Chains A and B, each alone.
Chain A
Amino acid sequence: MRAVLVIARGDLVRRVRNRSALITAVVAPLALSVVFSLVVGGPGGSARFDIGVVAGAGGLSGEIATGLLEADATPVRFVRIDSSTTAARRVDDGELDAALVIPAGIEEAVGGGAVTLEVLRNPDQVVSGGIAESVATDIAQRLDRVARVLSVTGEAGARVDGSTMAAAMELESAVAVVAGRSAGRDLTPAAFFGASMSMLFLFFTVGFASESVLVERRQGTLDRLLSTPTSAATVLAGKAVSVGVLGLVGFCVVWGVTTLGFGARWGRWPGVLAVIVATTVAVAGVATFAASLARTEQQTQTVTAAVAFTLALLGGNFVGPGQSPELLGTLSRLTPNGWALGAFADLATDTATGAGTLRAAAVLVGFGVALGAVGAARIHRVVQR
């Protein structure tokens, strides 16, 4: 064990000195997560948003719903839903991006009562949820204006002058918009992309470590290491510890900086830490396996990049959970990226359960251990000639 730590420490010192660790583990993921957050404004990017509308068939709510359903509001498409229960289920299942519930007695607001428009949204769906809320707010404002004026004039069709409007504005609002899912919070872009980019660059951190085995063999330091009372397995274990430390530190620095500097909410720290550790294990395993397929330093870089970007695309690192087409959404569950990002999103939106987080962590560790063991065995054969 002592030799493992000696090798890990030496590896870390060298990587910090030549700045490669700082760049791949901290600077690059941090910079890209900030850039993505600023450019995209939130994890999203689907070309179309399906927003459900729950409303009665007749009356004012029915008229409003009909108006929305007939509106050409590309990229937003409104879909009539029978009940708020059905709408909530379809939002949860990801079939709808959000839903707007217009109560049947909305005329009461015009008659002096108070009504509430409810927006059902999935906390993961920042953009579509925001669109649904905007629509609801617009409807609410229009209704509210009419209700206030009628309250002052007492009749429809009366002349409205400045003093009437001023009096109307003094009244309390008759129509309110509420979020239909108080349990969840919005997923902050910096939190999602912080995790996403840290994960992506972790592949390169691991790839560099695997490549370093080949570099050390070329430079002769590997032979010198193996000429000491140190086994090939110990050398590899030392490098694995070094990668693990770098991955964890990088992740945690991005976590801290996005939280303190950009207001990101990653969720409860024990869960976040558990998923970070599990993600590090998963990526280390996958990247080790990928690197083991290479025979040269150049091949290691190429294979690592190909695997990192393929898994990132499949897993939703660039678009966010729930934003991918259905097929990709399904495929993402076959990747460690999909599991990790799903777990991070649940934690960040306060919708995670302990069991769910543990299950995701277990799957991630399983990915890492299974593929890492195969990869390490392959690299061991190369080292132990």
Chain B
Amino acid sequence: MSASPSDRPEPLLSCEGLVRRFGDRVAVDGVSFEIGRGETYGLLGPNGAGKTTTISMVAGILRADAGTVAVAGAPMGTGACAAKSRVGLVPQDVALYDDLTARENLRFFGRLQRMVPEVLGRRCDEVLEVVGLADRADDRVGEYSGGMKRRANIAVGLLHQPDLLILDEPTVGVDPQSRNQILEAIEALGGAGLSVLYTTHYMEEAERLCDRVGIVDGGRLVAEGTRRELVATVGAHDRILVGARGDLQRLGTVLAGLAGVAAVEPADGHVDVLVDDAGRRLAEVVERCHAAEVRVESIEVREPDLEAVFLHLTGRALRD
């Protein structure tokens, strides 16, 4: 996590009131959000929520029926060369030419990004190294495995050193090993100061990668903030599960009197404690366990996740 909301500088990306209709269907309905420099922002929502349509407008591929997009102050649109050159897009599906090698694909898109030949050649080598394809750079993409294609797909987005990298569900259909490699690469990019707009319907990815998350449903941005802010918004609690032997009913009574504890539920072999902030309350909970003379066998902290937030906000599970 490279930036907190409080110290977010001038936004790199600013979207205001984006609307897009396809016939009678409103795919995106008044979406507004900002991304600061060096920030990783996630658009989290189920399939069909309007994430891809939103980023298509952000990338200048799709016209907005209403609303504006600006990248570093430059207005984005289908003909906006200045804004487009600051954005790198990694589409959801692998968008490469199978008949060309990875290096040829990079050179092709690099020329369209108006990169000068000397820089282009150097950058091709660099991004191929970053995504781990240097040794297969001159093989045709059609001969690559699915994971290699995904990595080459990301390389094209990084080639021209954009200020903002847009990744549209880059891990869909990827095996666990490649998925982890991709997530590590994105973490590294975010850590290096690149601004990232990341769409996903995987709650774990949004939690792992994103400084802030916008929850999208039915074309609308229904909530936005850090994970903790979102959780606080819906009033969800951290959970401390204490596995113990002894008088657990008595332990429950003791713990219920602690500050910040919302509820305590003793059960067979453990006590379920709902607290406002597990990080702050954990030490005191452990101390009271000892004082209550129960034998603690395990302690597990569960923070409320974005799945719970989504469920609370929409009444549906994220993958419904």
Evaluate contact between A14 and B99: CB separation under 8 angstroms: yes
Please give, as numbers and ranges, the residues of chain A lying within 8 Å of B59 by CB-CB distance.
223, 227
Evaluate contact between B63 and A227: CB separation under 8 angstroms: no
CA distance A232 to B93 in the complex (A): 20
Do A228 and B84 contact each other (CB < 8 Å), given the known contacts A220-B93, A220-B94, A220-B95?
yes
Evaluate contact between B156 and A224: CB separation under 8 angstroms: yes
Q: CB within 8 A of A229: which of B96, B100, B112, B156?
A: B112
CA distance A7 to B85 in the complex (A): 17
Within 8 A of B (CB), among A231-274: 231-232
Please give, as numbers and ranges, the residues of chain B lying within 8 Å of A10 by CB-CB distance.
97, 100, 108
CA distance A14 to B98 in the complex (A): 9
Query: Residue B89 at the A interface, CB < 8 A?
Result: yes
Q: CB within 8 A of A224: which of B78, B85, B91, B99?
A: B91
Task: Kindly state the interface size class of chain B when it binds its partner.
Answer: 20 to 34
Evaluate contact between A6 and B96: CB separation under 8 angstroms: no
Do A224 and B113 contact each other (CB < 8 Å), given the known contacts A18-B99, A385-B62?
no
Contact mask for chain A residues 7-50; partner B; CB cutoff 8 A; 1 contact, 0 none:
10010011001100000000000000000000000000000000
Q: CB within 8 A of A228: which of B97, B104, B112?
A: B112
Q: Which residue of A lies closest to B94 (CB)?
A: A220
CA distance A384 to B93 in the complex (A): 20
Contact mask for chain B residues 103-125; partner A; CB cutoff 8 A; 1 contact, 0 none:
01000110111100000000000
Query: Residue A178 at the B interface, CB < 8 A?
Result: no
Query: Residue A74 at the B interface, CB < 8 A?
Result: no
Evaluate contact between B97 and A223: CB separation under 8 angstroms: no
Please give, as numbers and ranges, the residues of chain A lying within 8 Å of B84 by CB-CB distance.
227-229
Evaluate contact between A6 and B87: CB separation under 8 angstroms: no
Evaluate contact between B95 and A6: CB separation under 8 angstroms: no
Please give, as numbers and ranges, the residues of chain A lying within 8 Å of B56 by CB-CB distance.
223
CA distance A29 to B112 in the complex (A): 34
Evaluate contact between A229 and B85: CB separation under 8 angstroms: yes
Query: Residue A225 at the B interface, CB < 8 A?
Result: yes
Evaluate contact between A384 and B63: CB separation under 8 angstroms: yes
9 A-B pairs with least C-beta separation: A220-B95, A229-B81, A227-B89, A228-B112, A224-B95, A17-B99, A220-B93, A6-B111, A14-B99
